[in-house]
């Protein structure tokens, strides 16, 4: 009796562990990929900036502060539809949307806000805890599905259920996939993919790629091994193992390693020159302390000085002076005076 009760409790606990939150069912039933983010944990981790840039950058999430304060996100594609879980009660969402120039309307009793900004998504407020994000047509279809009695769900939800407590998880029906590869930058093909990250105390990653055969799994593993040297330093500790027709990936890193990897490499200094010094007891490398090479100072270019050449000025010879005497019987007489002597020092 006791043994049967324990078995029942074990099965019930396992079932609960594999169930997903009910609000996930609003994801697109045709999704080929699902991405879940515990934003409350991620935004206090070193991964905040790159994930925030992906959501509010490339994916086009509206710049509303209430979305930045959300607790969790689930994103589905290819018809991009994101679910945000948080506190959306009161008039905060309405006021923030109005300040951003969003146009408001009500569709089947659901408040919606549309933006005319190119590439940005619109918002539908389902209740005080749930908001949906997508283009207007996608949002209307999601609202229609939520109000029908017979609902269809994405088969990926069952596979994602085991990651409900993880900080970031990705489930895809195949790789490559446009949404999945934004968060799984692996250059490989797979029949399916599922993986998760925990970022609260560093980084813990586990993922599984399914292939069609053990041969394909080995080929994928070899390709991944070859790409490891090209990965960021933090990912070079990636462990890759083959299990029949699947490839398992695991990675662990401390918080300090994560911060250092996201910060980038330190600047490389000049190489230090050493020489080997042998003594009876040991051999050591000693740094050579070379004096700093003299700096070359460029001398200013001197302009050539032109030699001053004195020009010889030729003096014009003075005309002789002449005295003319008139009134003589023999007529006027002219007397030429001798030229004055020149001063040689002049």
> Are 93 and 102 in contact, with CB atoms under 8 Å apart?
no
For the segment 119-142, the average pLDDT, to the nearest whole number, is: 94
DSSP 210-226: E-SSHHHHHHHHHHHHH
Confidence of residue 243 (pLDDT cuts 50, 70, 90): very high
The pLDDT mean for the chain works out to: 81
Q: How far apart are CA 91 and CA 50, in angstroms?
A: 30
Q: Examine the pLDDT at 282 and tell me if it is beyond 90.
A: no
What's residue 9's pLDDT? 36
What's residue 18's pLDDT? 59
Q: How many CB atoms lie within 10 A of CB 90?
A: 10
Q: Cis before residue 339, ω within 30 degrees of 0?
A: no
Q: CA-CA distances (angstroms) from residue 320 to 233, 317, 325, 336, 345?
A: 107, 9, 16, 7, 22
- Taking only the tens place, the pLDDT of each residue in 182-225 is 998 888 899 999 999 999 888 999 999 999 999 999 999 999 99
What's residue 4's pLDDT? 42
Half-sphere exposure (Cβ direction) of 118: Cα atoms closer than 13 Å: 0
Among 48-52, 60-64, 103-107, 229-233, the least confident range: 229-233
Beta bridge partners of 249: 207, 240
Closest CA to 241 of 212, 213, 207: 207
Residue of higher predicted confidence among 283 and 331 = 331
Q: Examine the pLDDT at 246 and tell me if it is beyond 70.
A: yes
Q: Examine the pLDDT at 313 and tell me if it is beyond 70.
A: no
Confidence of residue 338 (pLDDT cuts 50, 70, 90): low
Confidence of residue 301 (pLDDT cuts 50, 70, 90): low
What's residue 13's pLDDT? 37
Confidence of residue 329 (pLDDT cuts 50, 70, 90): low
Q: Examine the pLDDT at 284 and tell me if it is beyond 50.
A: no
Among 6-20, 60-74, 300-314, the least confident range: 6-20
What's residue 10's pLDDT? 34
Q: How far apart are CA 262 and CA 48, in angstroms?
A: 11
Residue of higher predicted confidence among 35 and 344 = 35
- Taking only the tens place, the pLDDT of each residue in 131-157 is 999 999 999 999 999 998 877 899 999
What's residue 64's pLDDT? 94
Task: Tell me which long-range contacts 150-156 makes (C-beta under 8 A, separation of at least 24).
Answer: 151/25, 151/29, 152/29, 153/25, 153/27, 153/29, 154/27, 154/28, 154/29, 154/30, 154/31, 154/34, 154/76, 156/31, 156/33, 156/34
What's residue 189's pLDDT? 92
Residue of higher predicted confidence among 90 and 18 = 90
How much is the CA Rg of the chain, to the nearest whole Å?
45
Cβ-proximal residues to 155 (8 Å cutoff; 6+ apart), any chain: none
Q: How far apart are CA 71 and CA 75, in angstroms?
A: 14
- Above pLDDT 70, what percent of the chain? 70
Q: How far apart are CA 84 and CA 131, in angstroms?
A: 5
């Amino acid at each position: 009796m006791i043994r049967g009760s324990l078995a029942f409790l074990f099965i019930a606990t396992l079932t609960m562990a594999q169930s997903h939150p009910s609000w996930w069912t609003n994801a697109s039933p045709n999704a080929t990929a699902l991405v879940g983010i515990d934003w409350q944990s991620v935004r206090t981790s070193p991964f905040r900036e790159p994930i925030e840039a992906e959501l509010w950058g490339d994916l086009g999430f509206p710049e509303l502060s209430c979305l930045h304060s959300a607790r969790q996100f689930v994103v589905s594609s290819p018809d991009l539809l994101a679910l945000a879980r948080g506190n959306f009660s009161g008039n905060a969402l309405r006021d923030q949307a109005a300040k951003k120039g969003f146009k408001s309307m009500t569709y089947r009793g659901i408040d919606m806000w549309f933006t005319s900004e190119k590439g940005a998504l619109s918002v539908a407020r389902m209740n005080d805890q749930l908001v949906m994000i997508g283009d207007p047509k996608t949002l209307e279809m999601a609202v229609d599905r939520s109000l029908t009695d017979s609902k269809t769900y994405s088969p990926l939800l069952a596979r994602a259920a085991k990651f409900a407590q993880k900080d970031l998880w990705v489930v895809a029906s195949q790789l490559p996939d446009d949404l999945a590869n934004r968060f799984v930058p692996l250059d490989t093909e797979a029949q399916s993919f599922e993986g998760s990250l925990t970022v609260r105390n560093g980084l813990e990653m586990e993922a599984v790629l399914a292939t069609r055969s053990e041969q394909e799994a080995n080929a994928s593993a070899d390709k991944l091994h070859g790409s490891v040297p090209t990965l960021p330093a933090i990912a070079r500790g990636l462990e890759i193992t083959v299990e029949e027709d699947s490839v398992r990936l695991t990675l662990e890193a401390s918080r300090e390693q994560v911060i250092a990897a996201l910060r980038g490499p330190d600047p490389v200094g000049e190489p230090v020159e050493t020489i080997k010094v042998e003594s009876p007891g040991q051999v050591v490398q000693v740094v050579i302390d070379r004096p700093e090479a003299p700096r070359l100072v460029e001398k200013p270019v001197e302009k050539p000085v032109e030699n001053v050449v004195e020009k010889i000025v030729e003096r014009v010879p003075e005309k002789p002076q002449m005295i003319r005497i008139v009134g003589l019987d023999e007529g006027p007489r002219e007397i030429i005076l001798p030229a004055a002597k020149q001063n040689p020092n002049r």
